[in-house]
Chains A and B, each alone.
Chain A
Amino acid sequence: MLTYIIRRLIGALAMLIVISMVTFGIFYIVPQWAGATPEALASRYVGRAATPETVHLVAQKLGFYDPVVVQYGRFVKGLVAGAEYDYGAGVEQCPAPCFGYSFISGQPVWPDLLDRLPVTFSLAIGAAIIWVLAGIGVGVLSALRRGSFFDRLSMGTALAGVSLPIFFTGMITLVIFSYGLGWTAPGGAYTAFLDNPAQWAYNLLLPWITLAFLFAAGYARLTRAGMLETMGEDYIRTARAKGLREREVIVKHGLRAALTPILTLFGIDFGLLIGGAVLTETTYTLPGLGQYAILAIRNQDLPQVMGVVLIAALFVVIASLVVDLLYAVVDPRVRLS
């Protein structure tokens, strides 16, 4: 078991290194296609009023003339050990993990990311609870009553659900429940859970349900397909034959096997969601990582983009690592292979 954990940890670390390299490479190269020179990048730090000599000096100090490998090395060093920026007028300390400074605001990126993480996390966790319960519940019931009215209705709804873009359902629900009926908060409001849990839930209720509906639809379809497959297996007949109650057969033998692929999917979905629910946050104007990503991209604020992409990738890698380790606990075949 220990070797398995270590192997998976090394794999996850390697994955993060590759992702950071690819991200850095792409966001280093693509702006140059769009015509960005080292001087143009540097002038975003010092402002438009600076003389060409100052810009040149700053570009040199920030190392924009160095080869991409050297720049990447400096970026990683900043992440691991922190960095010092010497602007000439003084030295600025950027403690680890240092993602650098925003081109636009001049603020360090890492505290911004920390500020926005709770919003996205609140959105993801609430939606995840709803969609897992609803999706798996509906999927199991549909599979058990295959062909019934309930099955057709819920699968029809689920198919509609996966075909609806969230920015459309988001707008419709806002128009109906918030502006129209006044039952829920309009977008844009976020209250920290620790400040006021009731207000926190009230503000997030509509995004939760809308986001959960989208995912629940997919999970219900998957659960139904998985249940139909496992309930036809021989060991289900064996379990019934040895006189287990139907409830136990369904939950302990049928559902347990059907859940395996869903667990994998959940790991990836949840990880991706914490890294920024871009569309949901844009529709409901929630100040989370997704909205941050969009703003960073619109401003072409490279350090911010790097920060948010890496954080998002980190969560996916962590989530799939956790899922893999859970498998190893549940299924001895995994850790021995």
Chain B
Amino acid sequence: MTAPLDVSGSAAEAHPESVLAGAGKAIQGRSLTRIAWMRLRRDKIALAGGVVVLLLIIMSIFSSPIIAAFGHPPLEFHQDAIDQNTLLPKGTFGGMSSEYLLGVEPVNGRDIFSRIVAGAGISLLIGFLATLVSVLIGTVMGVLAGYFGGWVDQVIGRIMDVFLAFPLLVFAIALAGVIPDKGFGLEGNGLRVAMLIFIIGFFSWPSIGRIVRGQTLSLREREFVDAARSLGARHGYILFREVLPNLMAPILVYATLLIPTNILFEAALSFLGVGINPPTPTWGGMLSEAVRFYTLPHFVLFPGLAIFITVLAFNLFGDGLRDAFDPRAH
């Protein structure tokens, strides 16, 4: 007898994951999140990106013990590692040794390894929190524009147009350049970090806003929203209980892809000298100091590679996440 419902045939080819998970079990409904997670688990490159991101986060949380174990304090000068005639590091490859893993900086002899490790924390902190700021603004604006439509949509749409036409980098530099030394109960670099988070987040919300608006527009017309509305639900209930939960996936995906952009933004501001003030180590700041010593490749290379690896890891993970959530990708 031929089996009319042979699972190893066409059905399995169309949905490989149903075979992987559902073998021997009764077919059950799966949420979008579970399907996405199963797709993501098979995407080795995205997972590698995710692992690197995780390692970077762990590294920045435990930066002090790591520096204590493998390096010297990031602000400590080491004149003994510097040739006093040329002011360049002693030894080959910029003074790389078991003592100084990635060598030392010219002139003052600070440990490059420690400074890279210490710089990770600031990059990630600003990257994450600035993204949080833009996600909050972008989601509120996008949901309002998409859900209410009409003049609300018109006004918010125009605001986003203005933001897109702004020379943002110039503007952000100008704002970051006039941050005072004291304010809001904070001082020095603490205040600068807070202001940078706000400035970067404030300037990058329209990209999230557009996506949320588009998604809300299509969600608004869906049957379950209609059902809620005809049952007499208020706007607030529909927005928070029906629309917002369905926006979580796209918001998560685009937030992941915005983090690397914001990390580059912070690095650019520090490179231009309007980010975090020296001597606090930042990758962008290390690169701007390296400009004067272009004969020492490692001095340029390590902070540059640190930025590159971090941003690439977030991009790989974010791309994988988007493919996993986007049904059109499969």
Contacts and interface: CB of A to CB of B under 8 A. Distances in A.
Interface stretch (A57-65, A74-82, A97-105, A159-167): A159-167
A46 interface: no
Contacts of A279: 169, 268, 271-272
Interface residues of B, number: 44
Contacts of B161: 15
Interface string B279-306: 0000010011011001101001100100
B123 to A, nearest CB: 11
Interface of B: 161-162, 164-167, 169-171, 173-175, 177-180, 183, 260, 264, 267-268, 271-274, 284, 287-288, 290-291, 294-295, 297, 300-301, 304, 307-308, 311-312, 315-316, 319, 328
Interface in A149-190: 159-160, 162-165, 167-168, 171-172, 174-175, 179
A34 interface: yes
Contacts of B183: 33
14 contacts: A33-B178, A34-B179, A160-B312, A163-B308, A165-B311, A167-B271, A168-B300, A171-B304, A172-B304, A175-B300, A275-B167, A279-B271, A313-B165, A316-B164
A236 interface: no
Contacts of B297: 175
Please list the 9 inter-chain residue pairs (A to B) with the smallest Cβ-Cβ separation, ordered nearest first: A312-B167, A168-B304, A163-B312, A163-B311, A316-B165, A297-B177, A275-B167, A293-B170, A34-B178
A168 B272 contact: no
Contact of A163 (B177, B291, B315): B315
In this complex, the interface size class of chain A, counting residues with CB under 8 Å from chain B, is 35 or more
Which of B164, B177, B328: most chain A Cβ within 10 A? B177
Interface of A: 15, 18-19, 22-23, 26-27, 30-31, 33-35, 159-160, 162-165, 167-168, 171-172, 174-175, 179, 229, 268, 271-272, 275-276, 278-279, 282, 290, 293-294, 297-298, 300, 305, 308-309, 312-313, 316-317, 320
B272 A26 contact: no
B312 A171 contact: no
Nearest to B306: A168
A34 B175 contact: no
B165 A165 contact: no
A268 B170 contact: no
